């Protein structure tokens, strides 16, 4: 065998790959479920916090800023581990799936709140004044005038952040979530062959490449001239 | 003010502080129906602040303001409802960049005046017609010249059929060749009987369109009267100095 053949046999072993393909596919389903839950709940919570923050109620804003800074500083792995191994002491025992979901959703909430908030504050004060002077309420101005402009600016940083945090689903392996990486690494130890890992990498590409391409489309679509 | 005309704006003893800065020091301003009042004065004298107090974009520190009989400073007044009666046009247009001209004009018609979309579109189109931009309804602000944008901003206000219009340096951000079209629209508004308070440096417009010129300095109205009197024979030294200065330019 040449070196190259040995390389192929080790990393792209067809027999091993075929055997563990169903496991990787079921891992993909778990990753997709996690990712969708994280994106929906994380962005919804982040946007809600940014909207609440715009009401400018001092004590509430201090609390928001504290929570946001906390979850932006902690490594996601630490949050997952604390939730999974720590919460049972408080008589709550979230599964590995739930721990991973909530942890990453909190991280996405924190980062997206900052991005949404930066978008809201970047809208010129004159936009508020023009809208309020025609009788629009604070809420109507926020929803109809300010937010649509803020969202356009937030799309590029938001998609980047969302993709980065969603890839963190792989951290679920440490709390026994059978997502792609979890399935791949147990397959590696069972087969004494790293090919399933390559399969796992392919699965991530299949999942995330379309998302990255779609994000790029969105960015060009919404990059509009004033 | 002629006795047979009713005051649309009646502001009394308006004071405004920004922290330690005393910006309005007891301003009284009464504006009659169909009157065009022109406000002039040096930079920082409080002209914009006064206008912004009238529709409560700025909260006066004390004083009283009646607009069309509504107490603007009463906590029980529905300020959003009251603001429909007071149009405001800004130096920087402040059009909504993500909406078409018609979208800009119809937003408050739908959300505040409660018109259906069809009715709002009809009224909005009519307002654009009045400012000569009926054919630009589908354009976004980015596709319009500065003069056209300001006319859309005027349409956005007049569509709500306000009782008084406030203009804060409506032509100051425009290239000189675009000023005329905006003044033209303001003149036709005036001819239609709109009550107007205008802060501007367009002295030519003041001379032939204003009923009264108000000179402000350092947070107070120093002197007021018909344009000819203020421009030709001001009685106060500060007015004379200011008029002399702008006429030299
Ligand atoms: N939001 C604010 N906070 C603090 N100070 C303010 C604020 N708005 C206005 N001022 C101050 O109040 C004073 C009057 O401002 P204003 O804008 O009313 O003057 P103006 O007569 O309109 O001047 P200009 O001709 O330059 O527009 C200025 O000294 C200004 O710096
Ligand atoms: Mg000003």
Residue A204's domain is classified under what CATH number?
A: 1.10.3720.10
Q: Is there an atom of ligand 1 within 6 Å of B144 CB?
A: no
Q: Is residue A101 part of a domain?
A: yes
Domain that holds residue A175: 19-224
Q: Which of A178, A197, A208 is nearest to A100 (CA)?
A: A178
Q: What is the pLDDT of residue B5?
A: 60
Report residues of chain A scoring pLDDT below 70. 223-226
What number is the ipTM of this complex? 0.93
- Alpha-carbon distance of B213 to B227, in angstroms, equals 5
Q: Is residue A89 part of a domain?
A: yes
Q: Is residue A189 part of a domain?
A: yes
Question: Inter-chain contact B94–A149, Cβ cutoff 8 Å?
Answer: no
For residue B3, pLDDT over 90 is answered with: no
How many structural domains comprise chain A? 1
* CA B50–ligand 2 middle distance (angstroms): 9
Task: Out of A124, A134, A145, name the one closest to residue B112 (CB).
Answer: A134
In the structure encoding, which two tokens stand for residue B227, read together? 């344009």
Q: Is there an atom of ligand 1 within 6 Å of B106 CB?
A: no
The angle formed by the CA atoms of residues B150, B118 and B120, to the nearest 5 degrees, is 35
> What sections of chain A are H helices per DSSP?
3-11, 14-54, 58-73, 76-81, 96-122, 125-133, 138-141, 147-167, 180-191, 195-222
User: What digits encode the pLDDT tens for the residues A179-220?
Assistant: 899 999 899 999 898 999 999 999 999 998 998 898 888 877
E strand spans, chain B:
7-18, 21-32, 36-40, 62-67, 70-71, 86-89, 164-168, 195-199, 212-217, 220-225
User: What digits encode the pLDDT tens for the residues B114-147?
Assistant: 999 999 999 999 999 999 999 999 999 999 999 9
Provide the shortest C-alpha distance from residue A150 to chain B (in Å): 11
**What SS3 class is residue B139?**
coil
A186 touches chain B (CB under 8 A): no
Q: What is the pLDDT of residue B249?
A: 60
For residue B49, pLDDT over 90 is answered with: yes
CB contact burial A62-88 (16+ within 10 A = b; e otherwise): eebeeebeebeeeebeebbbebbeeee
Q: Is residue A73 part of a domain?
A: yes
Q: What is the pLDDT of residue A13?
A: 87
Q: What is the pLDDT of residue A90?
A: 85
- Alpha-carbon distance of B235 to B5, in angstroms, equals 27
**pLDDT bucket at B1, cuts 50 / 70 / 90:** very low
Q: Is residue A1 part of a domain?
A: no
User: What digits encode the pLDDT tens for the residues A2-18?
Assistant: 888 888 888 888 888 88
A125 touches chain B (CB under 8 A): no
CA A161 from chain centre, in angstroms, equals 7
User: What digits encode the pLDDT tens for the residues B144-159?
Assistant: 999 999 999 999 999 9
Q: Is residue A4 part of a domain?
A: no
Q: Is there an atom of ligand 1 within 6 Å of B17 CB?
A: no
Check if the beta carbon of residue B224 is closer than 8 Å to that of residue B28.
no
Of B25, B40, B46, the residue with max ligand 1 atoms within 8 A of its CB, to mutate for a pocket test, comes to B46
Q: Is residue A191 part of a domain?
A: yes
- pLDDT higher at B108 or A8: B108
For range B9-26, the mean pLDDT: 96
Question: Inter-chain contact A131–B96, Cβ cutoff 8 Å?
Answer: yes
Residue % of chain B over a pLDDT of 90: 92
* CA B21–ligand 1 middle distance (angstroms): 10
Q: What is the pLDDT of residue B248?
A: 67
Q: What is the pLDDT of residue A155?
A: 86
Predicted model pTM: 0.88
Nearest chain B residue to A150 by CA distance is: B98
Q: Is residue A8 part of a domain?
A: no
In the structure encoding, which two tokens stand for residue B4, read together? 């047979």
- Alpha-carbon distance of A134 to B84, in angstroms, equals 5
Q: What is the pLDDT of residue A68?
A: 97
Q: What is the pLDDT of residue B141?
A: 96
If you compute the radius of gyration of chain A from its CA atoms, what whole number of angstroms results?
22
């Amino acid at each position: 065998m040449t070196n190259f053949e040995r390389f192929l046999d080790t990393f792209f072993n067809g027999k091993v790959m075929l055997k563990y393909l169903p496991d990787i596919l079921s891992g993909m389903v778990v990753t997709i479920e996690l990712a969708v839950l994280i994106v929906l709940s994380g962005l919804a919570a982040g946007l809600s916090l940014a909207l609440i923050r715009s009401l400018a109620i001092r004590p509430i804003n201090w609390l928001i800023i504290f929570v946001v800074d906390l979850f932006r500083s902690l490594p996601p792995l630490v949050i997952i581990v604390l939730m999974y191994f720590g919460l049972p002491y408080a008589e709550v025992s979230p599964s590995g799936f739930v721990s991973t979901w909530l942890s990453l959703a909190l991280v996405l909430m924190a980062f997206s709140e900052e991005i949404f908030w930066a978008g809201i504050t970047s809208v010129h004060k004159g936009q508020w004044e023009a809208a309020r002077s025609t009788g629009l309420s604070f809420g109507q101005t926020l929803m109809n005038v300010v937010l649509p402009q803020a969202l356009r600016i937030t799309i590029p940083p938001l998609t980047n952040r969302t993709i980065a945090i969603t890839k963190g689903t792989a951290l679920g392996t440490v709390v026994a979530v059978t997502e792609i990486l979890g399935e791949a690494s147990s397959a590696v130890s069972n087969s004494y062959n790293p090919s399933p890992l390559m399969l796992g990498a392919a699965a991530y590409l299949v999942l995330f490449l379309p998302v990255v391409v779609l994000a790029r489309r969105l960015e060009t679509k919404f990059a509009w001239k004033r | 003010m002629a006795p047979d005309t009713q005051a649309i704006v009646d502001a009394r003893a308006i004071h405004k502080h920004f922290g330690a800065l005393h910006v309005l020091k007891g301003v009284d301003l009464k504006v009659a129906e169909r009157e065009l009042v022109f406000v002039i004065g040096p930079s920082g004298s409080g002209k914009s602040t006064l206008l912004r107090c009238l529709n409560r974009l700025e909260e006066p520190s004390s004083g009283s303001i009646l607009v069309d009989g509504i107490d603007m400073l009463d906590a029980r007044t529905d300020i959003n409802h009251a603001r429909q009666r007071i149009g405001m046009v800004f130096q920087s247009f402040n059009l909504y960049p993500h909406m078409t001209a018609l979208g800009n004009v119809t937003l408050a018609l739908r959300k505040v005046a409660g018109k259906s979309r069809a009715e709002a579109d009809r009224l909005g189109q009519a307002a654009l017609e009045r400012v000569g931009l009926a054919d630009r309804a589908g354009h976004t602000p980015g596709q319009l010249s500065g003069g056209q944008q300001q006319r859309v901003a005027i349409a956005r206000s007049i569509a709500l059929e306000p009782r008084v219009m406030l203009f804060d340096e409506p032509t100051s951000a425009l290239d000189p060749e675009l000023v005329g079209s905006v003044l033209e629209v303001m003149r036709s508004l005036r001819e239609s009987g709109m009550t107007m308070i205008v802060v501007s440096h367009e002295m030519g417009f003041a001379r032939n369109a204003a009923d009264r010129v108000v000179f402000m300095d350092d947070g107070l109205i120093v002197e007021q009267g018909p344009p000819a009197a203020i421009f030709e024979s001001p009685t106060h030294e500060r007015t004379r100095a200011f008029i002399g200065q702008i006429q030299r330019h």
